Chains A and B, each alone.
Chain A
Amino acid sequence: GQNIDQPTEMTATEGAIVQINCTYQTSGFNGLFWYQQHAGEAPTFLSYNVLDGLEEKGRFSSFLSRSKGYSYLLLKELQMKDSASYLCATTHPGNTGKLIFGQGTTLQVKP
């Protein structure tokens, strides 16, 4: 089976840096996705990691350690619009199209 854990809520200050962690246990691994979801809106793709290491994309970076079953999403220079839910997801080992999501981390950015 697959199990994904991430913190339920986080709070950070505008302009700061925040790290959202995700741990997973899976019988197989084909990659890890991060999605952003604003309240009442669709999830939108942020990043995809399949190899160990850090992937940087503007203010957002994502890190993966396959041996530790661990990933994090790093958000720099936080803006108020970054207040959203951040969803970590792995792909099902027998079906690479099927995403298994964590419960999501609700990030609140305060002025």
Chain B
Amino acid sequence: EAGVAQSPRYKIIEKRQSVAFWCNPISGHATLYWYQQILGQGPKLLIQFQNNGVVDDSQLPKDRFSAERLKGVDSTLKIQPAKLEDSAVYLCASTRQMNTEAFFGQGTRLTVV
């Protein structure tokens, strides 16, 4: 089966600019996650969707980050305006059901200068 697709792979922007990332999960996977991985750290969950509803966004900086999964399939994560500390890899993952193996995309490496 096709894996989790993400784009772009790399993005460099200046601080205060906006950026958007796209994710297409594995077909049939109802649960979709966005994780932020800062260099040298483990991934941290930003937001979790079950179909098109938000399950957990407790660690999403809502003043600048937003995410949507309108039709319960693809998802976009947006940052506006970006800060230097947002430099990280943004990983999308999906699971068939909760508490099962998560499949990760290759991530988008964001550099904010």
Q: Of B11-19, B36-44, B62-70, which stretch is located at the interface?
A: B36-44
Contacts of A64 in B (CB 8 A): none
Q: Is the CB of B98 within 8 A of A97?
A: yes
Q: Which residue of B lies closest to A31 (CB)?
A: B99
Q: How far is the CB of B28 from chain A (nearest CB, A)?
A: 16
Interface string of A43-56 (1 = CB under 8 A from B): 11100100000000
For chain B, give the interface size range.
20 to 34
Instruction: Count chain A residues whose beta carbon lies closer than 8 angstroms to a beta carbon of B.
Output: 25
Residue B111 interfacial (CB < 8 Å): no
Minimum-distance CB pairs A-B, first 8: A101-B42, A97-B98, A96-B99, A42-B104, A45-B101, A96-B98, A42-B106, A43-B104
Q: Of A11-19, A67-75, A76-84, A87-95, which stretch is located at the interface?
A: A87-95
